[in-house]
């Protein structure tokens, strides 16, 4: 079984001191940093873009797991690659040609992720699964932190794990949204190996990030 990794979402960090919060996450044992990019068009919220990521890149050596909730996404991929993203995850609904966007991310030497919203079926990306590094299963409707986990996505995680095992594909299964201490074990047992969390990591146990990361990893 793959090692469980935690990718804290900086959407729940203190935006007045993002660099320090990223350093706190690294010192507390985060495996990577989940950067939620929102454009106010694909999702009804606006966050940060390449210039901010470029400055944050200097703050940590950790993998930047960049989740692009933007549309159209294809023409911006290189900007995020140049800014220092290590994993670039896109939504299939945000590109006219998913295969082309996947190849573009790979051509830039970056790992490629594809994200499935709660209502998006695995079947729409099944043909691409062999080529990608990560499937990001959304367990909330994207746009905001602090939302409630949607339990129906457990089935989707199980389907992805079954395909991965049967076809010996290599993609990581990452789950994003509403992850907390009462659902993390179910998500891991269903087949996820990377958990994204913002609210739980920054807010639980009086903000003891190290304890929260360790607790989420427990199986
Ligand atoms: C939502 C983002 C998630 C979210 C997770 O659109 O993609 O990464 O910030 O935050 P919590 O853990 O608070 O649900
Ligand atoms: Zn995210």
pLDDT tens string for the chain (219 positions)? 679 999 999 999 999 999 999 999 999 999 999 999 999 999 999 999 999 999 999 999 999 999 999 999 999 999 999 999 999 999 999 999 999 999 999 999 999 999 999 999 999 999 999 999 999 999 999 999 999 999 999 999 999 999 999 999 999 999 999 999 999 999 999 999 999 999 999 999 999 999 999 999 998
Query: Does the C-beta of 8 come closer than 6 Å to ligand 1?
Result: no
Residue of 66, 56, 13 whose CA lies nearest to 35: 66
Query: Does the C-beta of 145 come closer than 6 Å to ligand 1?
Result: yes
Is 79 an annotated catalytic residue?
no
Chain-centroid distance of CA 203 in Å reads: 19
Residues facing 111 on adjacent strands = 87
Task: Collect residues with CB below 5 Å from ion ligand 2.
Answer: 36, 67, 176
**What's the pLDDT score for residue 169?**
98
**What's the pLDDT score for residue 219?**
85
Q: Which two tokens stand for residue 5?
A: 């990794």
Q: How many CA atoms lie within 13 A of 182 on its CB side?
A: 5
**What's the pLDDT score for residue 81?**
99
**What's the pLDDT score for residue 94?**
98
Atom of ligand 1 nearest to the CA of 34: 8
Using DSSP bridges, classify how beta strands 172-176 and 111-116 pair: parallel, antiparallel or unpaired.
unpaired
Is 176 an annotated catalytic residue?
yes
Query: Does the C-beta of 139 come closer than 6 Å to ligand 1?
Result: no
DSSP class per residue in 43-101: SS-B---HHHHHHHGGG--SEEEEEEE-SS-GGGHHHHHHHT-SEEEE-GGG-S-HHHH
Q: Ligand 2 centroid to 163 CA: how many Å?
A: 23
């Amino acid at each position: 079984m793959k090692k469980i990794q935690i990718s804290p979402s900086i959407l729940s960090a203190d935006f007045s001191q993002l660099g320090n919060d990223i350093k706190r996450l690294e010192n507390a044992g985060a495996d990577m940093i989940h950067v939620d990019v929102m454009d106010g068009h694909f999702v009804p919220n606006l966050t940060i873009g390449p210039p901010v990521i470029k400055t944050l890149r200097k703050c940590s050596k950790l993998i930047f797991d960049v989740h692009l909730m933007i549309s159209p996404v294809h023409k911006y991929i290189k900007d995020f690659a140049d800014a220092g993203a290590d994993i670039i995850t896109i939504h299939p609904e945000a590109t006219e040609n998913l295969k082309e966007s996947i190849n573009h991310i790979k051509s830039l030497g970056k790992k490629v992720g594809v994200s499935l919203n709660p209502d998006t079926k695995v079947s729409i990306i099944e043909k691409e699964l062999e080529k990608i590094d990560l499937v990001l299963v959304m367990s909330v409707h994207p746009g905001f932190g602090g939302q409630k986990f949607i339990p129906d996505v457990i089935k989707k995680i199980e389907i992805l794990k079954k395909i991965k095992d049967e076809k010996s594909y290599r993609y990581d299964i990452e789950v994003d949204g509403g992850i907390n201490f009462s659902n993390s074990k179910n998500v891991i047992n269903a087949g996820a190996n990377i958990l994204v969390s913002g609210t739980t990591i920054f807010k639980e146990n009086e903000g003891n990030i190290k304890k929260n990361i360790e607790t989420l990893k427990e199986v």
